[in-house]
Amino acid sequence: MSFAEKRRHPRLAIYSAALAVCGNEGYLSDVKDLSQGGACIGRPRNWPSPPPTTCRLFFIFDQETVIGIDARIVRTTAEDLGVEFLPGQEARVESLLYESRFLDRDVL
C-alpha cells in the first residue's frame, strides 16, 4: 500500500494562492493540494526559523472568494509546508472543498 493510500482523507491536487498569517506576520504562498483534514502549501521564501506551530491560512480563489482556516503546521521541508486544519471548522472546510471544485486542475 502506498503512502498516499494510508491517508485518512484523499488529497485533491489544486493550485491557488494562499496567505499564512502567523502572529503579526503574513507569508504569501501557493496551495499544492488539500483534503478535508489539511493542505500542502509551498514554503514561503521568508518563512521563519524556527517555524511557527499554528497559523491562520487564507485560501485565495479570487477577489471575492477568500476562505480563512486555522491550522497547525505539521511538516516543514525546504519546498513545502504540511498543515492540519484545527477541529471545529467543518463548515469552513466544506466551503473550501466546494470552492476548489471550480479551479483549473490542468496546472499540475
- Could you tell me the CATH number of the domain that includes residue 50? 2.40.10.220
* Beta strands 65-76 and 25-34, pairing class: unpaired
Amino acid at the residue 97: L
How far is the C-alpha of 63 from the C-alpha of 60, rounded, in Å? 7
pLDDT at res. 41:
97
Classify residue 29: in a domain, yes or no.
Answer: yes
Classify residue 8: in a domain, yes or no.
Answer: yes
Task: Say whether 37 sits in a helix, a strand or coil.
Answer: coil
Classify residue 96: in a domain, yes or no.
Answer: yes
| Residues in a beta bridge with 70 | 56
Q: What is the residue range of 62's domain? A: 4-101
How many domains does the chain divide into?
Answer: 1
pLDDT at res. 85:
97
pLDDT at res. 108:
40
pLDDT at res. 76:
94
pLDDT tens across 33-80, in order?
999 999 999 999 999 989 999 999 999 998 899 999 999 999 999 999
Does residue 107 surpass a pLDDT of 50?
no
